[in-house]
Amino acid sequence: MMKETTAQDIERFNVIILLIGSLASIFIMRDYKYLFSFAVASAIMTLNFRFLHTIVVGFFSDSSESAPDKKELLIKLPLKFFGSAALIAVVVIWGKVNIPFFLIGLSTVFLSLIISYITNAFSPEIRRKHDGA
């Protein structure tokens, strides 16, 4: 049985990718345009993931005795989506970003998902269960 991947694991790996990718982009390319492109896109996706997690957890929490309010979810999710899309558009149009580095930065949540699942699949507690220890 695999350990579950939590949103905190994904956020932690996303911040690690943000830091390592930012350092790599400035050391390899030697221009702040590449650092800015990667770091801003990765930060946007990290915040987007956090907001999505907050919205979904708030919707399904047991804090209220009644059923979750679907109207609230139908308002918050599109607002988050359009806000993220607007922020990305503003950065691309007026930010003088390098598009390939910006797209790589936008994919950091996907990379952190993959890394999180791989590390959980090969964690020591999983190996102990399979070895019988």
Instruction: Please state the domain extents for the chain.
Output: 7-61+69-131
How does pLDDT run across 21-67, given as a tens digit for each residue? 999 999 999 999 999 999 999 999 999 999 999 888 888 776 655 66
Residue 131 has pLDDT above 80, yes or no: no
How far is 96 from 64, CA to CA, in rounded Å?
46
Mean pLDDT of 112-131: 77
Read off the tokens for 96.
């003088």
Q: Output the pLDDT for position 29.
A: 93
If one counts every other C-beta atom within 10 angstroms of the C-beta of residue 75, the result is 11
How does pLDDT run across 73-115, given as a tens digit for each residue? 888 899 999 999 999 999 999 989 999 999 999 999 999 999 9
Q: Output the pLDDT for position 60.
A: 78
Whole-number Cα distances in Å, 54 to 17, 82, 88, 127? 21, 17, 20, 33
Q: Output the pLDDT for position 103.
A: 96
pLDDT class of 1 with cuts at 50, 70, 90: low
Read off the tokens for 100.
């390939």
Q: Output the pLDDT for position 26.
A: 94
Mean pLDDT of 6-30: 94
Q: Three-state DSSP class for 31? A: coil
Q: For 17, phi and psi rounded to 5 degrees?
A: -65, -40
**Where are any strands of DSSP class E within the chain?**
none
The whole-model pTM stands at 0.82
Look at 31 and 124; give whichever has higher pLDDT. 31
Among 23, 1, 84, CA closest to 48? 84
